[in-house]
Amino acid sequence: MIHDFTIKNVEWTPEGRLDYPIHYPKTPPLIESKKNISTMFVDTWYFLKKATDKKSTIGTDNICIVLVKGLFGDLMPGNFNATYKNFKALGLNVIKAKAKKASATIEENAFMLKVSIEKQVKDSATQLVFLTHSKGGLDTLWALLSYPELHQRTKAVAIVQCTRGSSPIMESVFNKKHHATHISKINFYKEQLMNRTIYFAGYKAGCLDITSEKLNKYISTIDKQKFNFPIISVATWSITPTSWLDSYHERLKQIKPGCAHDGQFYIEDQLWPSFEQIILGNIDHAQPAMGGNGFDDANFWHTILHLFFKDRGSLPD
């Protein structure tokens, strides 16, 4: 069955998640985890959508859920708000990590993430579950590698739309990597303006971290690490732009025509072979943190959280 994702404000469902070849026929082969985690996600999504109990069925005593925003998360009002409120209503212990994000490097954000947790979670015996969006996943993984005290307290990590490959948008903006044969005149001037805006706003350091010149060293270090807790990676593709700040569908189409992306990163660059991998369809890059266009972001993160508990995704009786 082909799902029509072009209809706006229709409730999002997990069906059609692997229909990307229909929309993006030149996408390279994609591999999910051999474990049945994608089926667990779908089953849990529907279970939680139907649930009427206002208290969580997850056993999370002595656990704090840490929400970590992406690169421009602080510039997007309402980022993670629905998820934070939902977890609070469910009686869960949840915080939003605070950091400079776009104005800071991955190392700087990792340090500020540690400081933020120390200030907000007073009991050092409390275990941590990190739910992260986009570059926030890189900031978090680097913090866990850099600070053993955080690593030891971590129970699980979810990274959503977190790239292992460089950002084609940032590389085009700063390095003109895709200008020779893959840019229209209007996009050329847009990127020149974006370059200057990012520079004068003080965001260049964070943005350069997701270009290949700097990103590769982080990825190679992360890949060598064996984490002793579960990590779930969620990669998404989208055909519907939803955010002026995070949706670059036209530009990505120019750079690699016919290849699936989420408006910010190509989907093959969001795959982490060392982690458990889920692929979901038509979730634009801003939607996990912002919702909108029929996407229930609060239920999305509750579903991800559920996969770490209840015997790794099994549903309550």
The CATH architecture annotation of domain 20-164+217-308 reads 3-Layer(aba) Sandwich (3.40)
Other C-beta atoms within 10 Å of 77: how many?
A: 7
pLDDT digits (tens, 9 = 90+) for 116-159: 999 999 898 999 999 999 999 999 999 999 999 999 999 999 99
C-alpha separations of 176 from 134, 168, 298, 315 in Å: 23, 10, 37, 49
For residue 176 the two structure tokens come to 């003109």
Report residue 24's pLDDT band, with 50, 70 and 90 as the boundaries: very high
Q: Tokens 């029509």 identify what position?
A: 4
Mean per-residue pLDDT over the chain, rounded: 89
pLDDT digits (tens, 9 = 90+) for 167-192: 999 988 887 777 766 778 887 878 88
Q: Are 112 and 104 in contact (CB under 8 A)?
A: yes
> Is 195 buried (19+), middle (13-18) or exposed (0-12) by CB count in 10 A?
middle
| Integer Cα distance of 66 and 110 in angstroms | 13
pTM of the model: 0.92
C-alpha separations of 104 from 48, 99, 219 in Å: 36, 8, 18
Q: How far apart are the first and last CA of the chain?
A: 31
Q: What is the pLDDT of residue 313?
A: 47
pLDDT digits (tens, 9 = 90+) for 56-73: 767 667 999 999 999 888
Domain spans of the chain, in order of start? 20-164+217-308
